[in-house]
Chains A and B, each alone.
Chain A
Amino acid sequence: MTFSAGFLTAIVYGSLAWCALAALALAVLLVKDLASGETW
């Protein structure tokens, strides 16, 4: 039993998209913290 090409596609593209979203989310969180004066 082997992992299919579809599964490999899903985890590779999924992880790259996830990373891109994570970077975006961090930037948004920082702007939000800066606006509310709660950066540190």
Chain B
Amino acid sequence: MNEGSAILAPMTGWILLALFSVLWIGLGIYWGRRNKTFEDHALAGRTVGLALGSATAAATWITSNTTMLAPQFALQLGIWGMLAYATASFGLFLFAPMAGRIRKLMPNGYTSGDFFRLRYGKGAWSIFLLFTLFYSLTWLVSMAMAGGILLNALSGIPYVWGMSVILAVCVIYTMRGGLAAVIGTDFIQTLIIIVGIVIVGFAVLSNVTIDEIHTNLAAERPALLSVLFPAAIMAIFNNLLFGLGEVFHNNVWWSRAFAYREGVGGKAFFIGGLIWFPIPVAAGFIALVSGVLNVPVPAADMVGPLVVVSVLGEIGAIAIFIIVFCSLASSIDSLLAATSDLVTEDIYRRMIAPAATPTRLKKVAQIITLGLGLFTWAVCIPRIGTLASVLFFAGPLVGAMIWPIITGLYWRSANRAGAVGGMLLGAGVGLVCYFAIGWYVASLIATAVSMVWVLACAWLSRSRFDWDELRESP
């Protein structure tokens, strides 16, 4: 999309970009002043309260996908599409009890890698690191790329400039402020996104009634209202499993479980899920208005912004720009921080420099954040159009890790053979199905195969894990 077809003047886009960039970087530097050690930098001192904890759980899960893809889901899969998307919140709900248990079992833990190393040994740890780094880097690159593409589509800012600015801003405030900056900005970003969605939603409804939308859909696209829409019902399972796998394994979520004040983790993730749950419907229904208003939709993923602009004009375009910018920043900063902590703790500290001081580790984490930013930037420059399929490719890897994590946290009988075999077999069979059948079954089959192997190994096992082994000294 070029300047001519953008919904906002490039100058307005640049002004908004500059204002929010200054705000996030300023706050990052301010909140980073108290960070002295790696624990301060990576886990915000392990004292995050309920308000910030709940907001960051929701904000990190609100990616640009949530605000841009939800309308696309509604446009293509109808009412079930919006409801299917909302099931991604189940990952947060189900992680809530796990977060409390993680904090209790591993009071000195730093990363999800620590759990695999202590619970299942080096073999499982290595496989986990390989899988999770592949997934996290793919997600990070896809978010940065989405940033450039969306800012270009919304305001005509050239792709490379938009991608570079949003990435640079997130790298600078994450480097300076660590998790505290990420969590603090997440709170503000959550409020901006939710309030923005509510204002835009009611503004659209002041122009069109639900009865008009329903009548138009019944006449023009009745499948979108169908209770039995097979493709949409399949999407429920896919979203649900992908969400579970992502939240259960990724250090983005584990680092928060370690960072929350004692007793806060479970409540924060549950409230985060409650905050996130209505967003796909609140943001998605706007797409259903396109038929009533005769809004031409050249690309399905732009339906939300196009409808909002047709109803609210430039104010709507500004609102969408801010919502999308906040959605992107809240995910990119979390991925940068969590991946940098994973590399610092699991690779640098555990494999290269076990005697490194807390101050040195903090420095290394900052350098790794910068390195991740530069790597992401370099990969994003060519603007590969097929990255979404790479992210789907990671689905079986993510699905194969669900059962080793759940059983490893709750069952003493869960063991190394189960975890290693579950991850390798699940991912292997899932990837074969990815190529032989399609992406939409890959995660499901990987999860099922991994589950059977992990449960069988636990059932046949005579060993019983001692939970105290997870209580590693800091």
Q: Which residues of B contact A26 (CB under 8 A)?
A: 51, 54-55, 187, 190-191, 194, 275
Query: Contact flags (1/0) for B278-311 with A, using CB distance below 8 Å?
Result: 1101100100000000000000000000000000
In the bound complex, CA of A38 to CA of B51 (Å): 9
Query: Contact flags (1/0) for B241-266 with A, using CB distance below 8 Å?
Result: 00000000000000000000100000
Q: Is B195 an interface residue (CB 8 A)?
A: yes
Q: Which residues of A contact B47 (CB under 8 A)?
A: 38, 40
Q: Which residues of A contact B50 (CB under 8 A)?
A: 29, 32-33, 38
Query: How many A-B residue pairs lie within 8 Å, measured between CB atoms?
Result: 113
In the bound complex, CA of A27 to CA of B187 (Å): 10
Q: Is the CB of A16 within 8 A of B52?
A: no
Q: Is B180 an interface residue (CB 8 A)?
A: yes
Q: Is the CB of A19 within 8 A of B227?
A: no
Query: Contact flags (1/0) for A1-40 with B, using CB distance below 8 Å?
Result: 1111101110111111011101101110110110000111
Within B176-225, the residues touching A (CB, 8 Å) are: 180, 183, 187, 190-191, 194-195, 197-198, 201-202, 205, 210-211, 213-215, 218, 222, 225
Cβ-defined partner of A2 (8 Å) among B210, B218, B275 = B218
Q: Which residues of A contact B213 (CB under 8 A)?
A: 8
Q: Which residues of A contact B279 (CB under 8 A)?
A: 15, 19
In the bound complex, CA of A28 to CA of B281 (Å): 24
Q: Is B387 an interface residue (CB 8 A)?
A: no
Q: Among A1, A12, A18, which residue has the most Cβ atoms of chain B within 10 A?
A: A12
Nearest A residue to B286, CB-CB:
A12
Q: Which residues of B contact A39 (CB under 8 A)?
A: 49, 51-52
Q: Is the CB of B52 within 8 A of A3?
A: no
Cβ-defined partner of A19 (8 Å) among B210, B225, B278 = B278
Q: Which residues of A contact B79 (CB under 8 A)?
A: 3, 7-8, 11
Q: Is the CB of A8 within 8 A of B210?
A: yes
In the bound complex, CA of A29 to CA of B48 (Å): 13
Q: Which residues of B contact A7 (CB under 8 A)?
A: 79
Q: Is the CB of A20 within 8 A of B183?
A: no
Q: Is the CB of A40 within 8 A of B183?
A: yes
Q: Is the CB of B226 within 8 A of A11?
A: no
Cβ-defined partner of A1 (8 Å) among B198, B228, B281 = B228
In the bound complex, CA of A22 to CA of B44 (Å): 24
CB distance from A39 to the nearest CB of B (A): 5
Q: Is B274 an interface residue (CB 8 A)?
A: yes
Q: Is the CB of A29 within 8 A of B210?
A: no
Q: Is the CB of B226 within 8 A of A1?
A: yes
Q: Is B277 an interface residue (CB 8 A)?
A: yes
Q: Which residues of A contact B418 (CB under 8 A)?
A: none
With A2-B218, A8-B213, A11-B281 already in contact, the answer to whether A38 and B191 are too (CB < 8 A) is no
Q: Is the CB of A30 within 8 A of B214?
A: no
With A2-B226, A39-B51 already in contact, the answer to whether A14 and B194 are too (CB < 8 A) is no
Q: Which residues of A contact B201 (CB under 8 A)?
A: 12, 16, 19
With A2-B222, A40-B47 already in contact, the answer to whether A22 and B227 are too (CB < 8 A) is no
With A3-B225, A26-B187, A26-B190 already in contact, the answer to whether A18 and B51 are too (CB < 8 A) is no
15 contacts between A and B (CB under 8 A): A1-B226, A1-B227, A3-B225, A11-B281, A12-B201, A12-B281, A12-B285, A16-B197, A16-B201, A23-B191, A25-B271, A29-B51, A33-B51, A38-B49, A40-B261
3 tightest A-B contacts by CB? A15-B278, A29-B51, A5-B214
- Contacts A5-B211, A16-B278 given; 18 further ones with Cβ under 8 A? A2-B218, A2-B226, A3-B79, A9-B210, A11-B79, A12-B210, A14-B281, A15-B281, A19-B194, A20-B198, A26-B187, A29-B50, A30-B187, A38-B49, A38-B50, A39-B49, A40-B49, A40-B183
A residues near B (Cβ < 8 Å) are: 1-5, 7-9, 11-16, 18-20, 22-23, 25-27, 29-30, 32-33, 38-40
